[in-house]
Amino acid sequence: MPMHLLLFAVICSVLVSVLLKIAPRRQIDVFQAITWNYATAALLAWLTLHPALDTLRATTTPWLALLLLAVALPSIFLVMARSVAVAGIVRTDIAQRLSLVLSLAAAFTVFGEPVNGWKLTGLALGLLAIVCIVRRPRHQDAADPAPRTTGLPWLVGIWIGFALIDLLLKHIAQAGTPSLTSLTLCFALAFLLMVGVQRVRATRGARLNIRSILAGVLLGALNFGNIFCYVRAHQLLPQSPAIVFASMNLGVVVLGALVGKLGFAERLGLRGWLGLALAAPAIAAIAWGMRLA
């Protein structure tokens, strides 16, 4: 059962990238889709997770971190939408999953997480993988619709952005606020923030359209499904967090590579394939280091 949940979480994660990839050609307004994504995710979280909102009344509630997280979530989604468009699904998903390298490095220095050889090995391999994937192949296949660009700023934004989200979640959890409660609150706050952005865009001619709203509902369902299944897998395998962690991250990297290559004819080039090859042992080494900690 836990493995089925992990498989579903992996599929949901990759489908989020696919939906963002096809959005422009389907005349989907990404801003609108991301807005309604958070409305959907917040509603599903409220109905299924039953968040303990009363815990937010505690004097130790880290409101600044919660507000920063509410801003970071939609911001990184917008960066991700641009990244899959110009850099492709494969490289975007690898950058997203290897953000754990940056958050791990920060955990050593900020949160005092124990260091061991396996974690350091994973850190080194992950950094090499990132260097490889941010370089786009020189010769691009005509079947690849992505523009001829490195996508470097967007890939780096993905790498740093997801690491920032992870660090904010750790800080919030250390303050005693339950993770599911903080996520539900931040989904709702992110929705309100994006509604404000939409009002500004409306003054410049942007109009709501049903296609983008429906895409946002689907995006929110996939986003929530990914989180829900991953959390449930951790709950069902409380003694094996490293296995859940590694399975999720490796699964997204592998499935993302298959979908990007077979579904969208994305080219990686020699450096890209080397980055993909390095990503797997990097994640595995970090997971093993977590198990030994």
pLDDT score at 230: 92
pTM: 0.89
What per-residue string of b and e applies to 14-23 under the rule 16 or more CB within 10 Å gives b? bbbbbbbbbb
Report whether 184 contacts 42 (CB < 8 A). Answer: yes
Nearest partner of 195 among 31, 77, 75, judged by Cα:
31
Position 212 scores a pLDDT of: 96
Which residues lie closer than 8 Å to 66 by C-beta, 6 or more apart? 172, 177, 182, 185, 186, 189
- Residue 279: the pLDDT is 92
* DSSP string covering 79-124: HHHHHHHHT-HHHHHHHHHTHHHHHHHHHHHHS-----HHHHHHHH
Torsions phi, psi of 122, nearest 5? -60, -40
Residues listed for the chain: 293
Radius of gyration, CA atoms only, the chain: 19
Closest CA to 35 of 180, 213, 206: 213
In the chain, the amino acid numbered 145 is P
Residue type, 223: N
Ranges of the chain whose pLDDT falls below 50:
140-148
Spatial CA neighbour of 214 closest among 202, 222, 204, 226 = 222
Is 196 exposed, middle or buried (CB count within 10 Å of its CB: 0-12, 13-18, 19+)? exposed
Q: Please give the pLDDT value at position 138.
A: 56
Torsion, Cα of 168, 174, 179, 185 (10° steps):
-60
pLDDT for position 146: 45
Model pLDDT, residue 239: 79
